Structure 1
Amino acid sequence: MTTLDPVADSNGKNTWRRWWNSGEDNLQTAQNDANGWYSSMISKVPPFRPRNNLVSVDDNTRYSQLNSEQISSLETEARNAISNRNSSWCWYEDLTEVQSKINSSLGKGGVMSVFDTGSGRCPLPLPAYPIEMQAQYNIHINNSFLLPSASPNEIYHPLPLRTMIASAVKNYYNLPTEKHLYLRKEGNKLLKQKRVLILSLVGWLPEKYEKVTLGEQRSAYYLSQQLAKSLQDQEVSEISSLSFECPLESKELKTVFEECNTLLSNWKNLFYKVDSIFFIGVYHSVPLAVLLAREILQNHQSLGFDTNTYVGLLSIESCLQGYRFWDHSVDANNFNRVINPNADQDYTKAQEAKEKQLFQGLTKNEKEVLSKLKNYRDPDSVEAKLVRKDLDWILFNWDLFRMSLVGKLYDNFMTLSQKLAIDYCHPKIMRNLWCDGAYLDTDLKKPGEIGIPDFKMKTPSFDFQVKIPDDRNFEISLVDNFLLAQNLGYNDFIPLLTLVGPYFISRSFNPNTLPTTLKKQKTTDTKIWLQNIDPKWASKQAFAEKFQEELQDEISSVYNFLEYAQYQTVKNPELINIRSGIYDDDSIYGNFVDCTLRTKNLLIPKHLAMIHHQSDPTSILETINQYDLVWKFHEALSTFLQLRNLPIQDFPKYIHLSTSLHCSSLNITNKDPTRFERDDSETLNRLRQIWEAYQTWDPPTRGLKHLRNILSALSSYRSFSRLLHDVDRR
């Protein structure tokens, strides 16, 4: 382990500081040597000429002992390793003042450590993150919303005394107790003047694989920054971050875990008396985050923090429940066991063909490693058992642990049940779906048509709610209500959500997988749009340099600013970049923080439970699957009708539209308390909304159109009262 120097604080207790703090002169030398290289680097690490005079580094090597030539040699070795993507590496940075550092090209700098290099034992201070630069203007345009809520305040309430007593009685008789979490009664700023540690982990993916599955990823450092910004209103005293980039596309999970754990030994001082730890994982780095979280929490005493530390894990587009391929254009008869006796073999061959297409251009090793991700679909697989064991340990043994899973509702790859690991049941696991307004007919190129007001603004920041089109409300209401029910601990709706998920899969929900005809149409539309506005903006490129000041008159209105930003994103992407994806939405990070801090501990610890069902269809076109869906939908309505005390929420939902530079103006922590009625009035309201929304439902994609036809029985009820009479079993 890297040598650490003990320092006594004012109370005489031992704290720790890094040995590099004693080498300020050497740090300044390293920064001066590196400035020329960093000023020319834009988005990736270029190859460096290898050196023959490699520095011999061991656990006792101190940065302050190295001369400038040795430092340069270690930096070259580390950067080459990063460029070659051979090993895991970590970036440490203090993000306490993240908001003021966002627009700085160098910021305060940080410390880099690359596994299997000299920097793995002797971390290297650098003036800036070694890959991404903030050279361009990033404009955040949120055009989205979260289901079933953007904060736990909207669906939970404080624990009533009688519920507490009832839970104690049920526990005495070994009966099921709390189904869901409750809100704390404490104030908002639970981390005021506290210390926070962020650990974000991102696994690399081959470029083509990433584009056709996730669409895109962000760096671990970017995720750390986003979360740090969401913590600003907590008034914390210190935010430290460790951002891990990992070769999960070419190395086994356990191997990468060992690499990260080894790197983590350089940063043990950061855990000393820490008040909160936040983990972030994306897709195949989520299992890694689970393993690393257990390792850290299991050794909390040696690391110097106690069980009063808040711990949260944010899972974005998780692979915890694996994946499979969908093709809604395939003839359903191919997989119909009644018509086709070879249906199972044909299904297997179709999956293998799709996987071969996905893995095209990959190395043999990459194929072997990435193909194991689908094994998470099988709860008895080695991969699933490993993660489930560690997650169960965390959920049962760490009272202040919370897990938030979030994924895109509209996708081309994984269904909502897969990315939300919907079979993993525990009150401390909360789920949200991110809905992109771009797929709900909100075209920002035509702001007037979607009801956005046009007004003057001094800075590029505004906040507005856009109404969801009436012909799209049903699909939102359907998922919203049953996902809410699961977050409240009602697992009866898991089979229905599993069956419904594939209908939200479409190639048109990923710009990298658009069908040829649709792609040509979008290209043509964009070309015409550019031709129409080019005379207006062609000579106005310099406006971007004024973004930090008061906006110039030409772009100071909402409509002109939106048009100008989109125009420059197409014409000059190196100057202006619009951030509007799932990784960029501050409501996701704010909701995650709230779920971790504002929910009360369970009265009685619970183990992780797995729901086993056979609801995953081979094809949404198969008649048997359609009958199954109709029956389960009818059954779900009957079960839903029996629920009481549901939170009263606005309907229809609204798309949250906001623009800002690098941060959102959204504040989700200070809303009015959600109202609850201790009867079935809200349940009836929600069922009525489902019935009414179906009558005007007109979705655009093949899968959703097919779902509309399957659920056409809803249109046969002339009134809601008739539907209610049919599904009411009370």
Structure 2
Amino acid sequence: MSTNNNTSTDHVVDPKELQCQKQSQQVENQITTTTMNNDNTPIRMLSYVSTAISNRMPSISYFNHSLSLPRFPELKESEQFHLNKKYDLLTESQKILLVEEAKELYQKNHSTWYVFNEPIESDDNIKNNMEREANKDNTIHTNTNTNYFAVYGTKSYDCPIQVPLDKSIQVFINELNKRPTSTTSLYLNHTVILPGETVKSFYHEQSVWSKIATGFRKHYNFENERHLYLKKNAANTCISNDNSNFANSGEKKIKKRKKLLVISIVGNLPESYMLKTVASLPQSYELSDNFNKALLENNSNLLISNISITSPLDSIDSNTCFKEVKLIMDKHANNFADIDGLFFIGYYHSVPLLFQTAYYIFNNFYIGQAKLPPSLGIWGIESCLSNQTLFEHSSDNDTNKKLWQNCTKQQQENITSIHKFASSKDFLSIVDWILYHTNTKITLSCKLYDNFMTIGQKLAINLKHPNIIRNVWVDLQYYNTPYRWPRQYKDLSLIEDPSGVKVDVPLPIKRVFEISLINDLILSLNLGYYNEAAPLLHVISPFFISRSFNKNTIPNVLKKQLDKDFKDWLNKVDKEHTDWKAIQSLNKFLFSHNDNRDDDDDDDDGVVQTSANNLTNLYDLLQFLEYIKYHRQIELKSEIYHDEKMYTMFLENTFFTGNLIDKKKLEILNYPPTQNIFVNTLQYKVVWDLHEYLSEFIKFKSLPIEEEDLVNGQYSLSSQFISTKHNTDCGYNIVSKYSSQTGFERNTIEAKYRVNKLWQEYWGWDPPIKGLKLLKSIFSIFEMYKSGEELIDDITFE
């Protein structure tokens, strides 16, 4: 109950509380008196002091028993903050105030923040690039950009904070978070990309007769242009400085450097939810920076701008987040003028927001106002383009409760609404508009092995359009039991490389079948055979789900066993390699150079060099890496967003593919919700869809020739994101027959060969996880045939 003077009857006023009120009243009276007695006093002084009080003493509360001291020194009137100033024109006191305000709101994760740069084109930069090309310098170059950091809702939004030139964005952000910066980071990859590491492995140039046939089909309203074609001469050209798709360089005089703009968006997630789903999240500036390196590796004469946004999609509703992103885009509207390429990159739940942003930019900065850039690309990594489903092949029934454990109700509602929006008509209309009104190439990439979402969900296989290209990233490290690497790895010698080491590793025969099957299905989708391949891929996707593919969701029984194995392995290594404990630095480990190494570190690396000389095979290398990783002396980067091949693939998908002759609308394919794999009706459907797919697959006439039967993976370890030398003998060995200028023959020989090979690989298939074991038992229909030829004859007769 309250009295007329608004003082609660059940609250005893603390004397210190009254003292605080009196001090605040005295400050206000003094300001008012000063303003009334001096007509020349700027009115903004009142607002400045009021703002300064709130900014400097946020911990002052009428319910606290003590007052905290101001965090910032008093600013003179001449040092008052002006939003129209640039950061380098501010005083040191103003810079401190600006940074601290942005830091406070940034750490709360309730506001959009972003990093951007302003590349400066100069004659010296052009000259240096030309000299590097003439000297064929193999080092990795980056743009001489000035990076800026801004938080929406703070003064830094109007006056962005300039990141010191001697600091990377990563170091700057780590300092804001008060996180230590890792001393050594190595890129470790053991991956295969399906259906190929390059778009040239499954597309070809369109012949004159094909163009005529396309016009004929269009005239009679027949289906035409199932898939994209390579640009002219793209099949025989690597991405290099003399590629017509990029800026010409070398001895030629450069009048204008090609300007590219990269926009990346990543959303926040509750930590507990993130660990149980995607396991880790990239930083938005990390996606942009990696793609920049891929671009500059192929042509250092590019002028690249970046806008890297991190959105609080977990704590704020998506509509509000989109409004903030739109304001950021409006603020940087000048960046969209006169550019030669525009790229969008998003991860998981930020992909729907990424499409909204692209739609907004196209409509507000180009359509009806300016010409669209010739190269447009959208890349969705691990996209949530369907309703959310968490699969667990266990006896647990209430998996949804575990998923949202330690999450607030608001966070659950926000994330769930994103998944619902991704499958709504509003979102699909946005994708349809982008594909119909622009020549945007959409690349969707995902992991093959997951504990959370299926391949079909992440690749949105219900969306049919030639401009959508799909790729699957296969992490081959799942093929080995932790700390129990195959003994034959001792026979695999390390291949020295200027940027690291590489080792070609044949895949285990017992896992080749599943890779070949997924490869053929993704290849079929990219070639436009949606109706034939999508139904089978949709029903078998859940079988690739397992909790063991995420270290944070491993079943307790398995986790205990792995922990015991690790302790036994660690004790064994400590006894066999006593010198590893003395390692202090890894700067010279296996690398002839390291750009981050200081010259005065040479004396500290003697032990490392001695140890490294003993690492001559893959088995010892993996043991050493796991050992030093355990002692937190190294950070191994091996996620999908760390793989340089993925960025190069996105680059090629955008630059090397031509535009459609005729505009096409997005076609939506309807599939029933994915059922539990243990339901009998689903298992019968798998058998039926497999038969239907193979019956159609043997009729395909546009498949690339698979010259190698053996599938090879590769372990690569590098101190840099980009390897300066690429080994073309690794990866899924698919060589396109369309790489020659003589053309190709349209027949079904390759299709029948692949079906026969599938039958052969089935007999060696022995997967370890529950879902794939069940899938193998369902695929036992292969055992009905004595040979692959008999299988082909049976489905051909149909």
In 2, Cα distance between equivalents of 1:235 and 1:101: 10
Q: What corresponds to 2:232 in structure 1?
A: 185
Give yes or no for the alignment of 1:471 onto 2:528.
no
In 1, Cα distance between equivalents of 2:219 and 2:84: 55
Q: Deviation at 1:109? A: 5.5
Q: What corresponds to 2:776 in structure 1?
A: 708
Q: Deviation at 1:660? A: 0.6
Q: Deviation at 1:163? A: 0.7
In 2, Cα distance between equivalents of 1:206 and 1:433: 26
Q: What corresponds to 2:680 in structure 1?
A: 623
In 1, Cα distance between equivalents of 2:570 and 2:266: 36
Give yes or no for the alignment of 1:563 onto 2:619.
no
State percent identity of aligned pairs. 32
Whether the 8 Å contact between 1:194 and 1:275 is mirrored in structure 2 is yes
Q: 1:225 aligns with which of 289, 293, 301?
A: 289
Q: What corresponds to 2:57 in structure 1?
A: none
Q: What corresponds to 1:394 in structure 2?
A: 434
Q: What corresponds to 1:436 in structure 2?
A: 475
Q: 1:236 aligns with which of 290, 297, 301?
A: 301
Whether the 8 Å contact between 1:406 and 1:434 is mirrored in structure 2 is yes
- 1:446/1:700 Cα in 2 relative to 1: closer, same or farther (>3 Å)? closer
Q: What corresponds to 2:719 in structure 1?
A: 661
Q: Deviation at 1:700? A: 0.2
In 1, Cα distance between equivalents of 2:343 and 2:482: 35
Q: Deviation at 1:326? A: 2.0
In 2, Cα distance between equivalents of 1:177 and 1:150: 26
Q: What corresponds to 2:638 in structure 1?
A: 580
- 1:459/1:601 Cα in 2 relative to 1: closer, same or farther (>3 Å)? closer
Q: Deviation at 1:655? A: 1.6
Q: CA RMSD in A?
A: 3.1
Q: What corresponds to 1:124 in structure 2?
A: 161
Q: What corresponds to 2:752 in structure 1?
A: 684
- 1:49/1:278 Cα in 2 relative to 1: closer, same or farther (>3 Å)? farther
In 2, Cα distance between equivalents of 1:52 and 1:357: 48
Q: Deviation at 1:191? A: 2.2
Specify the SS of the correspondent of 2:104: helix
Q: 2:148 aligns with which of 103, 106, 111?
A: 111
Please, what TM-score do these two structures have when normalized by structure 2? 0.77
Structure 1 residues 238-253: aligned runs within 5 Å = 238-253=303-318
Give yes or no for the alignment of 1:368 onto 2:385.
no
Q: Deviation at 1:711? A: 1.1
Whether the 8 Å contact between 2:140 and 2:722 is mirrored in structure 1 is no
Q: Deviation at 1:313? A: 1.1
Specify the SS of the correspondent of 1:600: coil
Give yes or no for the alignment of 1:356 onto 2:356.
no
Q: What corresponds to 1:420 in structure 2?
A: 459
In 2, Cα distance between equivalents of 1:390 and 1:109: 34
In 2, Cα distance between equivalents of 1:580 and 1:558: 22
Whether the 8 Å contact between 2:272 and 2:407 is mirrored in structure 1 is no
Q: What corresponds to 2:103 in structure 1?
A: 79
One-letter amino acid of the counterpart of residue 444, structure 2 = L
In 1, Cα distance between equivalents of 2:331 and 2:189: 37
Give yes or no for the alignment of 1:157 onto 2:212.
no
Q: What corresponds to 1:316 in structure 2?
A: 381
- 1:605/1:668 Cα in 2 relative to 1: closer, same or farther (>3 Å)? farther
- 1:430/1:606 Cα in 2 relative to 1: closer, same or farther (>3 Å)? same
In 2, Cα distance between equivalents of 1:715 and 1:268: 62
In 1, Cα distance between equivalents of 2:321 and 2:138: 34
Q: What corresponds to 2:64 in structure 1?
A: none
Q: What corresponds to 2:600 in structure 1?
A: none
Q: Deviation at 1:447? A: 6.5
Q: What corresponds to 1:20 in structure 2?
A: none
Higher mean C-alpha displacement, 88-97 vs 283-292 = 88-97
CA deviation digits over 1:173-207, x for unaligned, max 9?
A: 22221000000124533222412211111100011
Q: What corresponds to 1:343 in structure 2?
A: none
One-letter amino acid of the counterpart of residue 76, structure 1 = E
Higher mean C-alpha displacement, 657-666 vs 157-166 = 657-666
CA deviation digits over 1:658-686, x for unaligned, max 9?
A: 11112243649999754454111100111
Q: 1:648 aligns with which of 705, 711, 715?
A: 705
Q: Deviation at 1:214? A: 0.4
Higher mean C-alpha displacement, 295-304 vs 693-702 = 295-304
In 1, Cα distance between equivalents of 2:70 and 2:580: 42
- 1:451/1:707 Cα in 2 relative to 1: closer, same or farther (>3 Å)? farther
Give yes or no for the alignment of 1:721 onto 2:793.
no
Q: What corresponds to 1:172 in structure 2?
A: 219
Q: Deviation at 1:647? A: 0.6
Structure 1 residues 397-546: aligned runs within 5 Å = 397-399=437-439, 401-441=440-480, 446=485, 448-450=487-489, 453-455=492-494, 457=496, 461-492=500-531, 493-535=533-575, 536=577, 537-546=579-588
Whether the 8 Å contact between 2:119 and 2:145 is mirrored in structure 1 is no
Whether the 8 Å contact between 1:323 and 1:373 is mirrored in structure 2 is no
Q: Give aligned pairs, total.
A: 653
Whether the 8 Å contact between 1:402 and 1:428 is mirrored in structure 2 is yes
Q: 2:342 aligns with which of 264, 267, 277?
A: 277
In 2, Cα distance between equivalents of 1:95 and 1:555: 40
- Structure label with greater radius of gyration: 2
Whether the 8 Å contact between 1:316 and 1:406 is mirrored in structure 2 is yes
Any unmatched runs of 5+ in structure 2? 1-68, 130-136, 176-180, 248-256, 594-607, 739-743
Specify the SS of the correspondent of 2:758: helix
Specify the SS of the correspondent of 1:325: coil
One-letter amino acid of the counterpart of residue 618, structure 1 = Q
Specify the SS of the correspondent of 1:538: helix
- 1:647/1:56 Cα in 2 relative to 1: closer, same or farther (>3 Å)? farther
In 2, Cα distance between equivalents of 1:70 and 1:522: 53
Q: Deviation at 1:219? A: 0.8
- 1:524/1:497 Cα in 2 relative to 1: closer, same or farther (>3 Å)? same
Q: Deviation at 1:476? A: 1.0
In 2, Cα distance between equivalents of 1:487 and 1:664: 27
Q: Deviation at 1:702? A: 0.6
Q: Deviation at 1:511? A: 0.9
CA deviation digits over 1:210-257, x for unaligned, max 9?
A: 011101111111111211121121333212221111101122222111
Please, what TM-score do these two structures have when normalized by structure 1? 0.83
In 2, Cα distance between equivalents of 1:100 and 1:512: 40
Q: Deviation at 1:387? A: 2.0
CA deviation digits over 1:328-369, x for unaligned, max 9?
A: 2349xxxxxxxxxxxxxxxxxx5xx32222111112211111
Q: Deviation at 1:52? A: 9.7
Q: Deviation at 1:715? A: 1.0
In 2, Cα distance between equivalents of 1:634 and 1:561: 44
In 2, Cα distance between equivalents of 1:204 and 1:242: 17
In 1, Cα distance between equivalents of 2:305 and 2:403: 38
Structure 1 residues 62-101: aligned runs within 5 Å = 62-63=86-87, 65-93=89-117
One-letter amino acid of the counterpart of residue 473, structure 1 = V
Any unmatched runs of 5+ in structure 1? 1-47, 332-349
In 1, Cα distance between equivalents of 2:70 and 2:652: 48
In 2, Cα distance between equivalents of 1:298 and 1:517: 54
One-letter amino acid of the counterpart of residue 244, structure 1 = I
Whether the 8 Å contact between 1:272 and 1:304 is mirrored in structure 2 is no
